[in-house]
Amino acid sequence: MSRGYNFLCILVTFSVLVAAVTAQGNRVSSRGGGRRPRVGFYGDRCRNVESIVRSVVQSHVRSNPANAPGLLRMHFHDCFVRGCDGSILLAGNASERTAGPNRSLRGFEVIDEAKTRLEAACPRTVSCADILTLATRDAVVLSGGQSWKVPLGRLDGRISQASDVNLPGPSDPVSKQKQDFAAKTLNTLDLVTLVGGHTIGTAGCGLVRGRFFNFNGTGQPDPSIDPSFVPLIQARCPQNGGTRVELDEGSVDRFDTSFLRKVRSSRVVLQSDLVLWKDTETRVIIERLLGLRRPSLKFGTEFGKSMVKMSLIEVKTGSDGEIRRVCSAIN
């Protein structure tokens, strides 16, 4: 009798402990412990997350098409510094936003509005990092690009320092670009495909003027540029004027392979873009993306794949991150 009673007590105690551990695990999971990004992550907790973000992005891109490349660039700058954790969104005197390469970023108001609407619909559920990732996909689609499924479930980072910003530069040789992308688990196909995102957006004249007027101190334009392209850019970015110039001249708001065709014909404004045609490995990839070499690659499909890979760089989980109430400030 006593032995059976003791066994029953042990069984009950064990059941209580299992229930307690399960409950604790559920609480940790709801805070982010053990969570990994996946498609459909929010489920019933925020069923309309994608439609809410899409609606906000659509409104802002229609009112100002420059917001589309702005969001794409912001996402890239976020992921390449401390991972895709929304740290680029944090405001502060020495935050990532204040670093030189980030001062011309646009689209912060798009993320803020989407966050406000999501907090009303699903309080403390959707991270700012996820909002930026979704908004980028939607911006590409609204510019004519192909859609892709976005894994969700990132947490927001708590650290944002201008001193951490060390992004690939507009004059980098191919070897440096490959090295920088490999450090973020991205291969050469990802490099070329993601650079193809320059099919939308603009560059500051200060970044390109030297190539078109005084390349490497020669007093002449870069000889590798198509000579007929030189006067066009010189007129738009004169030595004492001009602000910004299209990355994909004549197709700045359309997400397509036009930019890659211009790389092939040496009619691009950034040196880091032009040199992709000079390297054998990257040239072959461009040819495959343009359907000039077999097996061919579909640019829209490859871009989506590479964006998913990039969006999973160093994601925050558990105690490494949080879900911010406001995207510009930690809780």
Which residues of the chain fall short of a pLDDT of 50?
Answer: 1-33
Q: What is the pTM of this model?
A: 0.89
pLDDT of residue 27: 35
What local confidence, expressed as pLDDT, does residue 35 receive?
67
Confidence at residue 25, expressed as pLDDT on a 0 to 100 scale? 37
> What number of other Cβ atoms are within 10 A of residue 14's Cβ?
10
- Kindly write down the DSSP assignment for every residue of 116-158, as one continuous string: HHHHHHSTTTS-HHHHHHHHHHHHHHHTTPPP----B--BB-S
Q: Considering its fold, how many domains does the chain have in total?
A: 2
Q: What is the CATH number of the domain that holds 156?
A: 1.10.520.10
93 and 131: one domain?
yes
Q: Is 83 annotated as a binding-site member? A: yes
**Residue 252, marked binder:** no
Domain boundary pick from 164, 186, 204: 164
> Known binder of ligand: residue 60?
no
Catalytic residue among 77, 115, 236, 288: 77
Helix H or strand E segment including 22: helix 2-31
> Distance between CA atoms of 213 and 221, rounded to whole angstroms?
5
- Residue 253 is assigned to a ligand binding site: no
For residue 2, being part of any structural domain is answered with: no
Active-site residue flag, 77: yes
Q: What's residue 327's pLDDT? A: 98
pLDDT tens by residue, 112-146: 999 999 999 999 999 999 999 999 999 999 999 99
Beta bridge partners, 326, equal 329
- CB contact at 8 A, 176 and 107: no
Whole-number pLDDT of residue 331: 83
User: What domain range includes position 136?
Assistant: 48-164
